[in-house]
Amino acid sequence: MHTIVQVDQYIIKSAEFAIPILDHLRNLVHKADARIEEKIKWGMPSFDYKGIVCQMAAFKHHCVFGFWKASIMEDEYGIFKDKGDAMGGLGRITSFDDLPADEILIAYIQQAIKLNEDNVKLPAKPKPTEKKELVVPEYFIDALSEDPRALAVFQNFSPSNKKDYVLWLEEAKTEATRLKRLATAVEWIGEGKSRMWKYQK
């Protein structure tokens, strides 16, 4: 049984009601698999074997115990209160009555260890959607091309500065307004001004 003093200290310093619960959970984890190692991660006891298996923590009025890979575990006995919870947890534990039977918890711990042994990874979090490429209208490029200085300034503008000008032109209600704005835009850009230069201190 690989226990460490830091976890002993964590348990001893916990709220009185939590001490026997944490002690019990810790013993169950080691009973499930003698290869488990204890660590303190993110300020709470963590049980590792080829990666995090489960964690526990105590608060003023409740404890938590959860599995790192709860979201991909089979919850045959319906013990998870919220699989998506960061602790993959059993919900608020305030007494032994809130815990599943020992053999059930041991089976779940062994299932979590098996996922680590088989190197089953948690699904990657979806990447934030790609920002849409800003489409600069052809007529704007043509107008800028007639003033090399304005074109150079525009190319070095930040994406938001470019977008401000493009939206201003695109939102013109009539062709006459658009042409007027286009002439103004080329003039301002040639002077190195952003679309909102009047409002910037």
Tens of pLDDT, residues 115-156: 999 999 988 876 666 667 788 888 898 888 888 889 999 988
Check residue 199 and give its pLDDT. Answer: 78
DSSP letter at 50 equals S
Reported pTM: 0.61
Check residue 132 and give its pLDDT. Answer: 72
**Number of domains the chain contains:** 2
Q: Are 145 and 119 in contact (CB under 8 A)?
A: no
User: What residue ranges of the chain have pLDDT lower than 50?
Assistant: none
On whether residue 82 sits in a domain, the answer given is yes
Check residue 123 and give its pLDDT. Answer: 83
Residue 133: phi, psi to the nearest 5? -65, 135
Q: Are residues 101 and 163 in the same domain?
A: no
Residue 65: phi, psi to the nearest 5? -145, 130
Question: Residue 156 is part of which domain span?
Answer: 138-196
Residue in 146, 149, 140 with CA at minimum distance from that of residue 167: 140
